[in-house]
Every structure is written in C-alpha cells, then in structure tokens.
Structure 1
Amino acid sequence: MPRHALAPVLFLLGSLALTGACSTGSSPADSAPSPDNPSRTRGNDTGTQVDLTKLKGVSIVSDSSTDRSCPWATSYPDVPGADTMTAAMKKDVGERLEVFLGEDTDSQATGCGGMDGLEGPELNVSFSFLVASSDVLGVRLTTLDRTSNADGVGTEAYWYDGAAKRYRPSPGLIADGSRDAFVAAVKKRLEKREGVTPETVTALDDPDAYLDDMAFTADGDLKVDFDRGTVGVPPAGRISVTLPEATVTPWLSDFGTRAQRQTTAPDDKLDLGAAHTPAPTVAAQPDPGEDPTDCSKVKCIALTFDDGPAAPETGTLLKYLAQYKARATFFVVGQNVATHPDIVRAEVQSGHEIANHSWNHPVLTNLTPTQIRSQLERTNAAIKDATGKEPTLFRPPYGAMDDRVKAATSLSPALWDVDTLDWKSHDPAKVAQTVISQAEPNDVVLVHDIHPTSVAAIPEVLRTLTARGYHFVTVSHLRATL
C-alpha cells in the first residue's frame, strides 16, 4: 500500500459499527487453553482469582515482531525472588523461539521462513498466574505454534517454592514416595477416555516429561492437563484429568500441600524472600491539560507505543514525554494491563491516550469471531478496570485485519505510517534516526515501550522534531483535527 494511503482507510474503518452479538465466554485462543473451558479472571485461568496487587515489583518480559510473514510474540513474568523460575521460563521460551525461527541447529524444523505453502505461521507464548500467595508462586505458559504438526497448543506450569528458594516443575507437587501411586491413579482415570489407548498412555512412564501442567482448582482438586497427542491419539484433542482433593492430598509433597492451601485459601500477600526492594509504583507526570493543537494548521506527529505497559520502561518514557509536553497513544496488551494497572492509570493521568492491542498479541485473522471478540473485550475490561474508561481505538497485532476482525468490534482500527523496526535493531540511535528521517506531517509512528533501547531513543526524537516545528499529539486528536 502506498505511503499515506492508510489514512482514508483508517477513517473509513473507524466508522464501522459492531455486528453480531458479543460473546462473554473464554476460548482456547486466549491466555491458556483448556478443554474444560474454565472461568478466567484478570488473566487467571484456573477458576481461582489471583490478587495481582500482591505482585510487588513484577515485570513482564515481552518481545515481538511486526513481520506479518513470520509473526511471533513472547511474554512471561519476572517476579522478585523467583529468579530460578524466571530463568527456567526464559530458557524454555528462548528455545521455542529459536526452533520457530529456524535458528536451532539441533532441530529438524526449518522455521517459519522455510514453511513453503504453509498458511499463517505464528508463535505466541503468553502467561497466566495460577497462585501468588504467601511463599507460593505458580505461573502457566501457553504456547501456540502454528507450524506444529498437532494443534500447536502447549501448556506448562512453573512453580516456585519461596520457603526452599527453589523452582519446582509440576511433578514437585507430589511427594517422591507417592509418585508411583499418583501416576497409577492418573492412568486409571485415562483408561476409559475416548482416544486413549494402552500405547498412548505409556507416555506417563516418563512423568517428568508429560506431567508438566498440574494445578489446583479452587476446591483443592488437582487438575492435570495434557497437550494434544501426548496421552491420546491426536484427534482426541487436549485431555485433562482431575483428581479429587481427598484422593490427591495424601500424595502431596510439603510444597504441594502449601500450594494447595494457598490456592484454596490464599494469604494477604506474596513473600518469596526477594533480596531487593520492589520497584516503586510508576508516578504520573503533570497533565498538560486540553490540547489546543490544530493539526490542519501545524505539523503533527502521533507517537504510538505498543505491547506495554512495562516496568520500569514505561515510567521512564512518561518522564521523557512530559519534558516536551508531548502526548502519545499507548496500545496496551491486556495481560500486561491486568498486571500493571497502576502504570496504565499513570499514562492517563499524564495526558496520554490508551488503546487496545489485544489480550496476548495473537494474529487476530487466525482466530474465530468469538475468539477475536474475547481478545478485545477482555482487554477493554482490563483498561476500564484500571482507568474507569474503555478505549475507542485498537491496533491489530502485526496489522493483521480482515472482514471478520472488523465485524467483531466497534473499536476503530489504527495502523501506522512509520515502523521503526525497533524489535530488530535494539539500537537507540538507529530507532531515533528512523523516526527523524522518515516521519512526515500527520504520520503515525510505531515504537515499542517494552524495549529500553526504544525508550532511550525518544529524547532525541522529541528534541529534533520539536526543533523542526512538530507537535506530538494522540491518534484520536490527529484524526479529529485533520
């Protein structure tokens, strides 16, 4: 599409009305798929509610591309004190990304770049909190890999024992002496499940490899989830087994007992014995007040920041913007909003615009209408919880949009004119030069506030373009005054 040809398209799409009824149900394409379709609250998918205000000092480690031919996005939490668990997630996510991109020389996969004829390659790794209470932390990572031969969905639960200061995989919930009895009970529950055969269930002979997603329900039962094709034939889909509290409790390890208790009756705070003091809440900057800029008469630029909020990067960015009384639009990811509502409030209080960038950054055109609505509506709800107001704009990840995406929401789509490709370079000077050299009046510029290198580029952008007579406005203000 030619440069600036996006402008009339955006204004036309902005007038589209919502068609079809909105679904309030969760879907497997959201944070953590489950065949039982459990309820999810504020990013949690176990049927229990995690109070995210307990997660003092948490940061979300996110990365993504804007390459529509090879789209990928990864995200996992870094909670102070749980360093070894964070390291385990980092290692696993890094290995999955290397395989997807074809950079793992030990893998037979050629990566998304070598998938000739394959439609819609995509890697998405997202997170949800299972437990965050007392000295127990549980996190589930959900991986969607559309280059996989199965359904591409994989889940894994990561546990941290604050008392022992140890990362524990899911089998650590079971006492060593009870492992055989536990595995036998799981096998027995699988025997009569459709799609399970004696040959497929032998996977449980290696419990450390296949019992990698175990978590407690709000009633204290233990739910074990299996990826498609592990303990059953692939057409059977994902399979889960739930062992009642009375059955499983005698088999639990000391840590498993505490994890069960903190799931069913959580304490008021999370204390993992972090050696450092959690970072302070991001402070709002002075609100510059009503923006009188008329973009039909002066040169305007709309800086937009995707994939946040991020700590501490977004807080640093707010300070840079305030120095020039510059306004920006933040296209936020719902799972990060739920974790950092204070940062989103600070963005609004500092005079900036908040917009929707989906719940966990999937390619929306790969989803069903119900899944698309869920991605956007959950994020709208998180933004409203944080700020008291729902957004009016959304940016589809990777700019991927079709008629189904347009019909699924009344939000107005907002793409971009200048892509800094900051996720590739991680070079502040290069990012700044891209904006300075390519931006023209009334352009929308895409940057990511999850990268400290991108945030570091902003002072030079503000300084140089201000000297050239540019005004920094929100996307909505740019549209309203042209």
Structure 2
Amino acid sequence: MRTHSLVPSVLLIGALSLTAACSSGVPDVRSSAAESASAATAGSVHVVDPSKIKGLRIVSDSSEQQSCAFATSYPEVPGAEAMTAVMKKDVERRLATFRSAGCASGAEGPEFNISLHFLVASGDVLGVRLTTQDTSAAGSGLSSATYWYDGKAGAYRTALGLIADASRDAFLTEVESRLKGRDGVDGTALDSTFADQAERAAVLDDMEFTANGGLRLTFDRGDVGVPAAGVYVVVLPSATVTPWLSAFGARVQRQTGTPSSTLDLGATHTPEPAVPTHTASGDDDTDCAQVKCIALTFDDGPAVPETGTLLTHLAQYKARATFFTVGQNVAAHPDLVRAEARAGHEVGNHSWSHPDLTKLTSEQIAYQLNRTSAAIKAATGKEPTVFRPPYGAVDAHVKAATTLSPVLWDVDTEDWKYRDATKVARTVIGKAERNDVVLMHDIHPTSVAAVPEILRVLTAQGFHFVTVSHLRSTL
C-alpha cells in the first residue's frame, strides 16, 4: 500500500472485512463490475478457521470517541514473531499518523480502521491480509497488504517474496502486460512505477493464491491507474505463475490448495490460554425494581488472556455482565465466548470489524452485524438480541438495517484512553447510580485489573450486577 494524493473516489468502509469474501470467490465491494467479473474467475480458496491456530492472540486497540474514531487489529501467532513485529510497526505507525494528523485535519468524524483476515495457516506457512480504511486520507483511504511468514526459514516474507528472484523480471513483465490497455492505466506511468524498486514493492503488496494454484494480485485505487477506475485485479493462472515461484511461494501455493491439518512455525512454546469453566447456577432472579442494579458491559473482546481473567473476577462475586463482542475475535476465540455464555453472561454484537455503522450502506451494516451474530450463534448456540454500535454511532438508517436492539451507556470510563486500573475503578465507583449501564473494554489489562475493586466496593454499597437485557426486562 502507498499513500495516494489523487482525487478521492466515493466508497465507504463496508469493504473492511469483505476481503474475506473476496478470498472465497465473492467480489469485494471495492471492485467495479468489470473487476468483480475478473475476481470471480480467480477461483476460491479454503477458509481458514482461526480458532485452530494454537496460541493465537488478536492484538486490538480502539477508541470510543467519534471525533477521532479508530479500531485496529492484527494477529500474534507463536513462532511468527518476525512477521508480528512488521505488522505491529505498520499498524502503530499508521495509527500514530492518523491520531496526529487525521484527527486534527478538521474533517468531520474521521475514522481509521484496520481489520485482519487469514489467507493461509497451514504446514509451515502463514499469510495474513490487513485492510486499512482511513477516511482522513486523500483518495478513497482504503488499502490492503498481505504479510507472509516462512516457518521453514524462520523469516518474514513480503508479497514479492512469493516470486523467485531470478523470475522477477518475467513476472513483472507479465503483470504489466495484463494491466496495460485497461481503462485508466497510463502505460508510461506504469513503466515508471514498476522500474522503481520502492514503488514496485509498495504496489505489489497484496497477493494471494487461489485453490486452483493461480495468483491473484489486487492493486489499491490509484496504485496503477486513476482512482476513478477503482481497484485493479490481475489473476495469473497456475500454469503461468508456478514456474516463477520461489521455494516459499511454491509451499504457500501448495498449502493454500491442499491445507495441512496443523500449523507448525517452529515455536519453542505455544501458550494455552486458560478458559474458565464457571457455570451459572440458573437464571438470574434479581428484581431490579426492588434492589439497586447496575450493568457492566465490556466491548471489543474476547481477548487472550484478558477475557478469561475477567470471567474469573466476575465469578468470585457471582456478578453477571454483558460482553459486546467483535466478530473477528469471536471467530478466533469461540471457546471464550462459550465460557461467557456458560457463566450466565450476555453475549452481544459489536460488529465484525468495528466500523462506524452510520457511514455504511444498509447491505454493509447487515453484513457486519449478521456475520457476527452467526459467529456468536456458532459458539454459543444462541443468537444475540442486542448490539452496541461502535463509537455509539447509531441512527435511523442503522436501526432499520437490523432487528437487534441498540445499547449505549450511562457511564463512560474512557478506559481506552486512560490505561490506569485505579482511575478506571474510581470512575465507575464515583459515577455509578442505580440502573446505570457502564462502558468498559476487556481488551485492556488495566480495565480488567480494575474490576475486582469495582465489584468489591459496589457490592458493599448494595449493588447487584446484571446483564443489560435483564436490567431492561425488570424495570
């Protein structure tokens, strides 16, 4: 991905998590009709189940401030520390730029979002795509890049690392030939881009194999043509690209088409996250019309190991809470979501990748929420009935796109901003009133660390901890 300085095109962030759809043969909403037809010929790939990746941790960060809205995530996989370090650096650099420049740009409601999608996690290879939406940036602000890890060599690889050095020229010539002549592509400018090593690496940063061995290259808007022309897709058939692959590329191609049952990146230690086994004794019979109730809510999880620790804290006080979960995290850690439900907590929907829903089309809103509800049902056997709109951004358009009931909050701990357990606890204890809904995040260790003090003090003050839906039903 590279920074664009051309005229913006009009597309919103519904495409953030739809890179997953592209990988299964469903056209990305970033694409034009012609690009969609091209993508459809690319062939499908096997869907990666992230819950099977041992020791996986999704590193997440977010704000709840609409004036500077951001949500980022990237995976941390044991053995692939070199790749994790590159993703971490890229995410933090881009987020820092957004927070210092984008949030001060004067743009109305700027938003920054990085979502993740696993391309392959099999044998000794790992592939991840990170998709970025920055509404404060020039152009569409939408871009994507793939990251690769070679477990056999113990090394991070760029997308171009899929191609052997000796075959690089032939590969580039073929890609150029398939781009030239397309509407919006300036052949002279393309020659210049591909001739410059840095520019070439920046635009050839999103590649993936299809199940039939072809190589699909996706170029962000403005990378190789005018932004108005949209995203360009080039698909090289297996017979064409296979002779040009590096040894690593050949293994990725093979593991994409015929995945192994395990992933082994040579990790010396694979942590096994603790999954609490607390079980609710029965339905909650608390009558909030007769006693003081409060609903603690936790957004953005599940997270390892924070959510497991939080469940243990809550069990010690027999407290119930509501977890507004992010779909891509549910897919990675369904065992923790099951543990939440088993312990009597409510599992709510917080979208698939945490976009501002008010900026999406009805179809994109439905995709974000329905996909998450399906993941929750797969984990717990029960579909959620409530959702928390990211950033609290909800309007009539969003409400009309879903049957879920929106839930906001009365007490905002701002724990995403203040990573201080003592401050978070004091905020809740100092502001808590009867029937309040409290906003916290179980992705932050400091927030989880604040919970025992909150439970201790508010219990002593006569509060009962219930789920949002229970609070609503008894008032």
Q: State the Cα distance separating 1:225 from its structure 2 match.
A: 0.8
Q: State the Cα distance separating 1:54 from its structure 2 match.
A: 2.6
2:194 is matched with which residue?
A: 204
3-state DSSP of counterpart to 1:416? coil
1:177 is matched with which residue?
A: 166
Runs of 5+ consecutive residues of structure 2 not aligned to the other structure: 1-12, 28-42
3-state DSSP of counterpart to 1:200? helix
> How far apart, CA to CA, are the structure 2 residues paired with 1:161 and 1:54?
19
Contact 1:82 1:272 in 2 (8 A): yes
Contact 2:122 2:261 in 1 (8 A): yes
In the TM superposition, 1:36-51 aligns within 5 A as 38-39=25-26, 47-51=45-49
Q: State the Cα distance separating 1:82 from its structure 2 match.
A: 0.5
Q: List structure 1 runs of 4+ shifted beyond 6 angstroms.
A: 33-37
Contact 2:410 2:437 in 1 (8 A): yes
Contact 1:31 1:360 in 2 (8 A): no
> How far apart, CA to CA, are the structure 2 residues paired with 1:140 and 1:394?
27
Flag the 1:192–1:302 CA change in 2: closer, same or farther, 3 A.
same
> How far apart, CA to CA, are the structure 1 residues paired with 2:189 and 2:368?
34
TM-score of the two chains, using structure 1 as the length reference: 0.90
More deviation in 208-217 or 277-286?
Answer: 277-286
Contact 1:358 1:379 in 2 (8 A): yes
> How far apart, CA to CA, are the structure 1 residues paired with 2:404 and 2:355?
17
1:94-125 per-residue CA deviation (whole Å, 9 max, x = no partner) reads: 010111011xxxxxxx3222x22x23310000
Q: State the Cα distance separating 1:275 from its structure 2 match.
A: 1.3
Flag the 1:244–1:86 CA change in 2: closer, same or farther, 3 A.
same
The answer to whether structure 1 residue 446 and structure 2 residue 446 are counterparts is no
Q: State the Cα distance separating 1:281 from its structure 2 match.
A: 4.8
Q: State the Cα distance separating 1:403 from its structure 2 match.
A: 1.2
3-state DSSP of counterpart to 2:459? helix
Q: State the Cα distance separating 1:192 from its structure 2 match.
A: 2.2
1:186 alignment partner, one of 175, 186, 189: 175
2:337 alignment partner, one of 339, 344, 362: 344
1:327 is matched with which residue?
A: 320
2:150 alignment partner, one of 141, 161, 171: 161
1:71-105 per-residue CA deviation (whole Å, 9 max, x = no partner) reads: 00000110111101011000000010111011xxx
1:111 is matched with which residue?
A: 102
Runs of 5+ consecutive residues of structure 1 not aligned to the other structure: 1-25, 103-109
Contact 2:273 2:305 in 1 (8 A): no
Q: State the Cα distance separating 1:299 from its structure 2 match.
A: 0.4
Using the aligned pairs only, state the percent identity: 62
1:222 is matched with which residue?
A: 215
The answer to whether structure 1 residue 141 and structure 2 residue 134 are counterparts is no
Q: State the Cα distance separating 1:279 from its structure 2 match.
A: 1.6
Contact 1:35 1:239 in 2 (8 A): no
Contact 1:196 1:231 in 2 (8 A): yes
2:121 is matched with which residue?
A: 132
The answer to whether structure 1 residue 84 and structure 2 residue 82 are counterparts is yes
3-state DSSP of counterpart to 1:456? helix
1:435-466 per-residue CA deviation (whole Å, 9 max, x = no partner) reads: 00011000000000000110000000000000
Aligned residues between the structures: 444
> How far apart, CA to CA, are the structure 1 residues paired with 2:273 and 2:63?
30
1:427 is matched with which residue?
A: 420
Amino acid at match of 1:479: R
The answer to whether structure 1 residue 355 and structure 2 residue 348 are counterparts is yes
Contact 1:282 1:343 in 2 (8 A): yes
TM-score of the two chains, using structure 2 as the length reference: 0.91
Flag the 1:412–1:276 CA change in 2: closer, same or farther, 3 A.
same
